[in-house]
């Protein structure tokens, strides 16, 4: 039984989604922004651009 345990410990891990799983497990440094805030900021920028074009044309 100890041979099976050794063999499974030395076996390489299966590739899960071409390594994407390992990529997203890593902690990255930088600014953390919630997706809701990012979408709201993008919509606000679009509205500001449209209003600027209407009023300053």
Domain ranges of the chain: 2-55
Tokens of 25: 């497990």
The pLDDT score that the predictor gives to residue 18 is 59
The pLDDT tens digits for 3-50 are 555 555 566 666 555 555 555 556 778 888 999 999 999 999 999 999
Alpha-carbon radius of gyration of the chain: 25
Q: How far is CA 14 from the centre of its chain?
A: 22
Q: CA triplet 26, 18, 16: central angle to 5 degrees?
A: 75
């Amino acid at each position: 039984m100890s041979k099976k345990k050794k063999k499974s410990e030395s076996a390489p891990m299966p590739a899960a989604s071409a390594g994407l799983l390992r990529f997203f497990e890593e902690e990255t440094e930088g600014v953390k922004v919630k997706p809701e805030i990012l979408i709201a900021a993008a919509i606000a920028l679009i509205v500001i651009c449209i209003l600027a074009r209407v009023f300053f044309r």
